Amino acid sequence: MSIIVDKINYIYEIGTGFERQALKDVSCVIEKNEFIGLIGHTGSGKSTFIQHLNGLIRATSGNIFYEGQDIYDKDYDMRKLRSKVGLVFQYPEHQLFETDIFKDVCFGPKNLGLSKMDTELRAFEALRLVGLDENLYYQSPFDLSGGQKRRVAIAGVLAMKPDVLILDEPTAGLDPKGREEILGCVQHLREETGITVILVSHSMEDVARYVNRIMVMNDGILMYDDTPANVFAHYKELEQIGLAAPNVTYIMNDMKKAGWNVDTSVLTVEQARDSILSCIDQNVYRK
Amino acid sequence: MGIVKADKLTFEYIRRDEEGNVDSITTAVDNVSLEIKEGSFVAVLGHNGSGKSTFAKHLNALLYPTEGTLWVDGMDTSEENNTMSIRQTAGMVFQNPDNQMICTLVEEEVGFGPENIGVPTDEIWQRVESSLKAVGMYAFRKASPNKLSGGQKQRVAIASIVAMKPKCIILDEPTAMLDPAGRKEVIDTLHLLNKQEGVTIILITHYMEEVIDADYVYVMDEGKLVMQGTPRTIFSQVEHLKELRLDVPQVTELVYELQQSGLPIKDGILTTEELLQELERFR
Amino acid sequence: MLRDITIGQYYQTESVIHRLDPRVKLMGTLVFIISLFLGRSVWLYLGVTAFLAVIIKLSNVPLKFIVKGLKSVMILVIFSAIFNLFLTDGQPLVHIWKLTITKEGTILAIFMVIRLLYLIMGSSLMTLTTTPNHLTDGLEKGLGFLKVFKVPVHEIAMMMSIALRFIPILIEETDKIMKAQMARGANFEKGNLIQRAKAMIPVLVPLFISAFRRANELAMAMEARCYHGSEGRTKMKPLKYTKTDYIAYLLLALYLVILIVIRIFL
């Protein structure tokens, strides 16, 4: 299972005088079980790109292959693609509409034409996967907290049993703990189901902590596509396009400049701690 | 008296059922007393639902205390006659930039406030010009807000408040919907206004990095004021902050982790430079 | 599809038409609409077409942009054309199955299409060249006499201006919600009319909730900026007629007179 994106271009509002090229020759391969972080400033083309992956937007030129099949083939089943490549939009709580949470999660599988029993089984499974309290299943989705609503919305897509889950800034607007909870939930989900996840995020710290591959978009171009350590090594270039590296990257680089022999490719606070401690004489601090 | 003074401020949301009977009472702000000095840059932290937004709305006389008193520039907010002067003294910027823009041109948007308070036409134009320049958005005066980036929209929203010549600006999570570059734009603008124009800034946020340069920090939880102090004293209490569903800047967290591993490093480090200096001792 | 709606949008550019007093433009739109219904002679329509062409040229709004706005109302136009085509009695031209196209019907349909298209072009030209605030000011002042009858002119005008500002935002939002539900397998193109209407519920519920939330927040933002109705309010851009405006009024009157003359004598 893989998605192959081959030189796609996308031009907005062709023939209106407001034309703008949103994607320029973007190519990449997304393999099974990957956890990819997609970063870029607002308007860099991230959202346009992910909507190509499930066929919501059609490329002006170029091809996309899902499991070896060209999704732009005339008789390709686009609706099936959408169930396989699940996309959760930013502020997903804005798409909740049913009278209770359970019904809302059933919406996706029901659209797939599944039987009532299969639909409900899938909804239960999805709600369990996002870790929502069972007492809440039959309550109105509108009474939930921001973080809970987001879980319900993610469950709504998971219930379609996608192979790939794309999350567009799932933590936007949440408080620090809420952010951690949602990302923890995604991490757990990956461990349990082996689903491929593409996480669009503004938080370099979050991306560094969770993903194993980062794509950087700038002005519609896929600028970097590499491991987090390799991408953040370009922190100066990232700054120029309105992004940054995680704070620890800066700390470690500054320490290196000051003559410490630390590892500048660390991604988390814990790794930074270990690297710093390894440079300090054990006798200084071990009592 | 400071620009803002709260004395045992309490606010209760009363939910009623269909027959109008009281269903439940939520205390959104619980017995908060504080005083904010004019010209300072103050941050209010707290997780979603901690009562910080409800508190902010009191400062703008959009809500009135159930109990206790709140003074803005010496004016009691629960007195109806003061409402308009309070809103002029303490302007408010909200979270969603789209939902606070009324007009379709940037300059008209900035002029809306002064129009409401009856500023003469010539002066409105002067105010629009100077406040757009103050936030660095003068070049966009003829643009439609819909075409601006999130950070630019929020700067226009700030200019719209500045044009009313307030002594104090309250911002309710102004950066929650922005990307990192937009967040920086907004925070830099606020510091500039604070330093150059001497406007008191009350910034409500849950991004810890935005708080580092504040003069004073309040932390709210379940409607109560649970911590207060300089950023340094607040961020040296890592565990307490995490209990409150909050976070600390990565530098501070690194210091905390090093301490936990037994390194005798001092508390309350906020910047990389400070950390480097401190680590020199262990070289 | 939704992006094609240009009604109520403002097209930012510099032109004589943009600079005109909104009251002139309102009056102009009214005169134009009246002139459309003066009659059905070819001469009359040549006059109307010439007038519209000159105004579009003067406004600096690309014709392409105006035409794009027509797409969204095309169904309405086609429907009325078909009705006129088949349901008008008169001299038969062609028989198709049980339906007859008459000469009168054809003429009527053509005029109807032109009329509708011109009507939409004319009125969207007004919003394209006038910022909603300006338009509001124009309405407020132009209809100011209604205040005598206790009509809250300012409030109505303000509501209209806000509605206009939020149209593009709500359109974008509808687009986003539709896509989000499509990602969950929703299908908006399948089935009969009732099924399609039902398929819109997952879009309409979130849209309404969001619109209410926006309205709430906007009301609060307006209050926070000391908005309290028209009382004691000053104007940033007070309306004042200039020489150009008087000339425009004169030209409008001239236009109407010429058309009436055409109607009577040609």
How confident is the model at residue B144, as a pLDDT?
83
CA nearest neighbour of C263 among C107, C36, C38, C52? C38
Same domain, yes or no: C200 and C123: no
**Residue C66: which H helix or E strand, with range?**
helix C63-70
How confident is the model at residue C246, as a pLDDT?
94
User: Which positions in chain A touch B283 (Cβ < 8 Å)?
Assistant: 260, 280
| pLDDT (tens digit per residue) in C53-84 | 999 999 988 888 888 778 777 888 888 888 88
Mean pLDDT of chain B: 92
How confident is the model at residue B65, as a pLDDT?
94
Same domain, yes or no: C179 and C83: no
Interface of B with C in 164-203 (CB under 8 A): 164
Q: What's the length of chain A? A: 287
Does the distance separating the beta carbons of C220 and B104 come in below 8 Å? no
Out of B177, B182, B261, the one facing A273 most closely (by C-beta) is B261
Residues A221-232, mean pLDDT to the nearest whole number: 94
All chains having 3 or more CB pairs closer than 8 angstroms to chain A: B, C
Contact at 8 Å (CB) between A39 and A217? yes
CATH 3.40.50.300 fits B4-230, yes or no: yes
Question: Quick count: other Cβ atoms within 10 Å of Cβ A2?
Answer: 15
Q: Which residue has the tokens 């851009």?
A: C237
Give the C-alpha separation, B159 to C189, whole Å. Answer: 45
Does the distance separating the beta carbons of C202 and A95 come in below 8 Å? yes
User: Which positions in chain B touch A283 (Cβ < 8 Å)?
Assistant: none
How confident is the model at residue C93, as a pLDDT?
76
The torsion region of residue B36 among left (phi > 0), alpha (psi -120 to 50) and beta comes to beta
> Scanning every residue of chain A, which has its alpha carbon at the shortest distance from the alpha carbon of C186?
A111
Q: Would you call B200 helix, strand, or coil by DSSP?
A: strand
| pLDDT (tens digit per residue) in A88-126 | 998 888 889 999 999 999 999 999 999 999 999 999 999
B93: tokens are: 């910027």
Indicate whether C4 pLDDT > 60: no
How confident is the model at residue A88, as a pLDDT?
94
How confident is the model at residue A275, as a pLDDT?
92
Mean pLDDT of chain C: 85
Question: What 8-state DSSP symbol labels residue B201?
Answer: E
Kindly list the distances between the CA atom of residue C64 and the CA atoms of A17, B223, C74, C114, in Å, as whole numbers in the listed order: 9, 56, 15, 17
Give the C-alpha separation, B258 to B91, whole Å. Answer: 42
How confident is the model at residue C7, as a pLDDT?
60
Kindly list the distances between the CA atom of residue A148 and the CA atoms of A92, A133, A152, A178, C171, in Å, as whole numbers in the listed order: 11, 9, 6, 9, 27
How confident is the model at residue A283, as a pLDDT?
63
> Scanning every residue of chain A, which has its alpha carbon at the shortest distance from the alpha carbon of C183?
A82
> Scanning every residue of chain C, which has its alpha carbon at the shortest distance from the alpha carbon of A77?
C185
Residues C17-33, mean pLDDT to the nearest whole number: 91
pLDDT-derived band at B6 (thresholds 50, 70, 90) equals: very high
Does the distance separating the beta carbons of C64 and A95 come in below 8 Å? no
Give the C-alpha separation, B9 to B18, whole Å. Answer: 29
Does the distance separating the beta carbons of B164 and C217 come in below 8 Å? no
Same domain, yes or no: C116 and C185: no
How confident is the model at residue B48, as a pLDDT?
86
Same domain, yes or no: C21 and C126: yes
User: Which positions in chain A touch B245 (Cβ < 8 Å)?
Assistant: 175-178
Between chain A and chain B, the number of residue pairs with CB atoms below 8 A apart is 99
Q: Would you call C41 helix, strand, or coil by DSSP?
A: coil
Out of C131, C222, C226, the one facing B108 most closely (by C-beta) is C131
Indicate whether A49 pLDDT > 60: yes
> Scanning every residue of chain C, which has its alpha carbon at the shortest distance from the alpha carbon of B145?
C165
User: Which positions in chain C touch B128 (Cβ < 8 Å)?
Assistant: 236
Strands A69-70 and A61-66 turn out to be antiparallel
CA nearest neighbour of B31 among B51, B61, B45, B56? B51
Out of C3, C184, C201, the one facing A108 most closely (by C-beta) is C184
Residues B208-212, mean pLDDT to the nearest whole number: 90
Q: What is the CA radius of gyration of chain C?
A: 22
A281 touches B: beta carbon within 8 Å: yes
Out of C62, C179, C209, the one facing A56 most closely (by C-beta) is C179
How confident is the model at residue C133, as a pLDDT?
73
All chains having 3 or more CB pairs closer than 8 angstroms to chain B: A, C
Sheet strand arrangement including A221-226: A85-88, A164-168, A196-200, A35-39, A213-218, A221-226
Residues A212-225, mean pLDDT to the nearest whole number: 95
Out of C183, C206, C209, the one facing A56 most closely (by C-beta) is C183
How confident is the model at residue B191, as a pLDDT?
96
- A44-53, C102-111, C181-190: which is most confident: A44-53
Does the distance separating the beta carbons of B113 and C226 come in below 8 Å? yes
Out of C3, C62, C210, the one facing A94 most closely (by C-beta) is C210
| pLDDT (tens digit per residue) in C95-117 | 777 777 788 888 888 888 888 88
Task: Tell me the percentage of chain A whose pLDDT exceeds 90.
Answer: 71
Same domain, yes or no: C67 and C162: no
User: Which positions in chain B touch C162 (Cβ < 8 Å)?
Assistant: 102
Does the distance separating the beta carbons of C169 and B146 come in below 8 Å? yes
Task: Quote the number of domains for chain C.
Answer: 2
| pLDDT (tens digit per residue) in B230-254 | 999 999 899 999 999 898 888 999 9
Higher pLDDT, C41 or A65: A65
Does the distance separating the beta carbons of C222 and B115 come in below 8 Å? no
pLDDT-derived band at C262 (thresholds 50, 70, 90) equals: confident
pTM for the structure as a whole:
0.85
Out of B247, B261, B272, the one facing A277 most closely (by C-beta) is B261
Contact at 8 Å (CB) between A217 and A43? no
Q: Which residue has the tokens 């990095």?
A: B209
Contact at 8 Å (CB) between A267 and A208? yes
Out of B149, B257, B275, the one facing A270 most closely (by C-beta) is B257
> Scanning every residue of chain A, which has its alpha carbon at the shortest distance from the alpha carbon of B246?
A176
| pLDDT (tens digit per residue) in A172-196 | 888 888 899 999 999 999 999 999 9
Give the C-alpha separation, A123 to A114, whole Å. Answer: 12
User: Which positions in chain A touch C177 (Cβ < 8 Å)?
Assistant: 94-95
Give the C-alpha separation, C155 to C225, whole Å. Answer: 16
Per-domain residue ranges of chain A: 246-287
Residue C253 maps to a domain? yes
CA nearest neighbour of B67 among B11, B4, B6, B5? B11
Q: Which residues pair with B228 in a beta bridge?
A: B218
Give the C-alpha separation, B44 to C193, whole Å. Answer: 53
How confident is the model at residue C1, as a pLDDT?
46
CA nearest neighbour of B92 among C129, A169, C224? C224
Contact at 8 Å (CB) between C132 and C156? no
Strands A35-39 and A213-218 turn out to be parallel
pLDDT-derived band at A282 (thresholds 50, 70, 90) equals: low
Same domain, yes or no: C54 and C174: no
Lowest-confidence segment of A258-267, B202-211, C128-137 by average pLDDT: C128-137
Residues 6+ apart with CB under 8 A from C181: A95, A107, C202, C203
Q: Which domain holds residue C228?
A: 150-233
C190 touches A: beta carbon within 8 Å: no
C98: distance to nearest CA of chain A, Å? 38
A113: distance to nearest CA of chain B, Å? 37
How confident is the model at residue C249, as a pLDDT?
93
Per-domain residue ranges of chain B: 4-230
How confident is the model at residue C5, as a pLDDT?
60
